[in-house]
Chains A and B, each alone.
Chain A
Amino acid sequence: MKHRLKFTIKKLFRMALLLLGVSLTAFLLMDASPLDPLQTNIGQAALGTMSPEQIARLENYWGVDAPAAERYLGWLGGVLRGDFGVSLLYRRPVLEVIGQRLAGSLWLLVCAWILSGALGLALGLAAGARRGRWPDRLIRGYCLTVSSTPVFWLALLLLIVFAVWLKVLPIGLSVPIGGGQVTLPERLRHALLPGLTLSITGVANIALHTREKVIDVLDSDCILFARARGEGHILRRHVLRNVALPAITLQFASIGELIGGSVLVEQVFSYPGLGQAAVAAGLGGDMPLLLGITVITAAIVFGGNLAADLLYGVIDPRIRRGAARK
């Protein structure tokens, strides 16, 4: 148990270091940007009509001067106290904006994550077990097509079919325009298409990799021996157990890809989530918000990796003891 704790602490330390690296990288990249936030947000014409004092005040607001190192250290100090700064576009604390947006995105992401994981595993098992026959060909064809398809184009197609032609689902937004009391079914209706898009694309990668692994396992000697003994339920007893670890890796590694996809999908459906905020922040030169979103998503991704590492030990006693011996 003590060794498990040590292992976890070591991983946590590495994660903190990586997060520091992520924030520094993102900060340096944004700092290197030649785009002037004043020009992008206020516009040349409006700037021309302003007095020098007004411009100076705006420059101060968008943080144009002040050395980079000082600003980074200031930001870092704020973060350690739980203050990510103020979003320049939304004029509210970054954490508040992220929290609100994440609440919109989160259950979209979680639904797509679970659905694509379960479906991907099932399809991968089915394809691997019937290698070379029609279910395998069908599933492989599907995966290939989907993984060659841009997520946002798929979203556009679904939008055309379901919202424009059939008119059964709304075109976008997480709530109907006009506000008022939003009911749960209404919310579901608006999240259905984005969720569906993300699930459809998420399945492909997981299914393909699971299939490879299943084929590897089926070719191994232990399966040959089990067959020779005339054992039944090979898929459940042997294959599933051997595939469990890589499946977990895949499932948790897919988080990053899923968030990346949600950036594009939310843009298509104008779904007010984290991804859309990231795009708005990027286009508008809202550094604190973009930095905050980058760090938070990276933290989610690293957290996923950590969870996978810890789950290995829970599932596989060999790893538990192996970690203890070292």
Chain B
Amino acid sequence: MRTNRRAGTLFLLIFACILLFVIALAGEALSKPAELADFARKNLPPCLAHPFGTDWMGRDMLARTVAGLSLSIRVGALTAVLSGGIALLLGTASAVCGPRVDALVSWIIDLVLGIPHILLIILVSLACGRGFWGVIAGVALTHWPSLARLVRGEVLQLKQATFLRAARRLGVSRGRVLRTHLLPHLLPQLFTGLILQFPHAILHEAGVTFLGFGLSPERPAIGVILEESMGYLAAGRWWLALFPGLSLVLVVMLFAVAGERLRLLLTPASAQE
């Protein structure tokens, strides 16, 4: 039986969300075994008891990977939501509040896009004194510009719509127009933007923790795990780097695919393909 694309996309999204939830919970549950060192079983290549192998302190890499993914997912989700909020606010403001605000916002966008993301994240995380919140602030503050541009364009288009102008002429207040007419039209775009934002956020989070800014070695984020593995690669312990990275790629890909398909469905021009 062929499922149609709508159902398929919905299924994919639900599956992705459930998977995220499970990983996030499992990571919490596994945080103890992830730190359990046992020198009797150190440096084991992948085997049945330890599918991802063990590291130089005898820690099970599967448990560490899941714990790391869980942390990365939480950081990614939080930053995607935060940067989505910033994008919504600034995008709407630049479309509604007149040309001055518009010019200012587009200047800020140019500014943020002018500094390579990873450098700006380093700077912001330094400003917050590194650590967990430094990473969150860094990623959240760098990922809003493209979404803000999208929101701005959308609002500009909506402003010209007949139903909106009619509502204004009928004396509906600005705030009410914003709430009842503008926001419902923006939400699908914003939602898709958020889902597509999520992979970027996770990848940059992994990057910046890999460089040693942000999370401490005791909290096994994927970036930290990969950073630690670097010292052991020359000794031929490939499993330390392969599996944690691969699982991150799979999670990110799942969301990239789900977001892309959602975008195609919600864009009227391609919805019927």
B-contacting residues of A (Cβ < 8 Å)?
17-18, 21-22, 25-26, 28-30, 32-35, 144-145, 147-153, 156-157, 159-160, 163-164, 171, 256-257, 259-260, 263-264, 267-268, 278-279, 282-283, 285, 290, 293-294, 297-298, 301-302
Contact = CB atoms under 8 A, between A and B. Distances in A.
Interface in B143-196: none
A256 B211 contact: no
24 contacts: A18-B114, A21-B111, A28-B127, A29-B123, A29-B127, A147-B256, A148-B203, A149-B245, A156-B226, A156-B241, A160-B242, A164-B238, A171-B234, A256-B116, A259-B116, A260-B116, A260-B119, A264-B210, A278-B122, A282-B122, A282-B213, A297-B116, A301-B115, A301-B116
B256 A144 contact: yes
Interface stretch (B44-52, B56-64, B79-87, B247-255): B247-255
Nearest to A215: B270
A33 B126 contact: yes
A32 B141 CA distance: 16
B229 A29 contact: no
A278 B256 CA distance: 30
B253 to A, nearest CB: 4
A68 to B, nearest CB: 13
Contact of B123 (A30, A147, A151, A256): A30
A163 B236 CA distance: 10
Interface of B: 107, 110-111, 113-119, 122-124, 126-130, 199, 203, 206-207, 210-213, 226, 229-230, 233-234, 236, 238, 241-242, 245, 248-249, 252-253, 256-257, 260
Contacts of B241: 153, 156-157, 160
A34 B242 CA distance: 36
B127 to A, nearest CB: 4
Given A22-B114, A147-B256, A290 B245 contact: no
Which of A22, A148, A263, A290 has most chain B Cβ within 10 Å? Answer: A148
Contacts of A22: 111, 114-115
Contacts of B114: 18, 22, 256, 298, 301-302
B238 A263 contact: no
A152 B203 CA distance: 10
A233 B255 CA distance: 38
B86 to A, nearest CB: 15
A51 B113 CA distance: 46
SS class, residues of chain B in contact with chain A? helix
Given A21-B107, A32-B127, A144-B253, 15 more contacts: A18-B107, A30-B126, A35-B130, A145-B253, A151-B207, A156-B226, A157-B245, A159-B233, A160-B233, A260-B118, A279-B212, A285-B126, A293-B119, A297-B119, A302-B114
B229 A156 contact: yes
A294 B119 contact: yes
Contact of B127 (A17, A21, A33, A151): A33
B34 to A, nearest CB: 20
A21 B230 CA distance: 37
A30 B206 CA distance: 22
A152 B223 CA distance: 9
A282 to B, nearest CB: 5
A256 B129 contact: no
A268 B127 CA distance: 25
Contacts of A268: 230
B253 A148 contact: yes
Contact of B249 (A21, A149, A171, A283): A149
Which of B110, B119, B213, B226 has most chain A Cβ within 10 Å? Answer: B119
B124 A264 contact: no
B126 A150 contact: no
Contacts of A156: 226, 229-230, 233, 241, 245
Contacts of A18: 107, 110-111, 114
Contact of A279 (B122, B130, B233): B122
Contacts of B118: 260, 263-264
A290 B124 CA distance: 12
Which of B118, B129, B203 has most chain A Cβ within 10 Å? Answer: B118
B199 A148 contact: yes
Contact of B233 (A21, A35, A164): A164
Nearest to B257: A144
A167 to B, nearest CB: 11
A267 B210 contact: yes
Contacts of A25: 111, 115, 123
A197 B221 CA distance: 23
Nearest to A151: B207
B33 to A, nearest CB: 24
The 3 A-B residue pairs with the shortest CB-CB distance in the complex, in nearest-first order: A260-B116, A153-B245, A148-B252
B126 A35 contact: yes
Contacts of A301: 113-116
Nearest to A25: B111
A282 B126 contact: yes
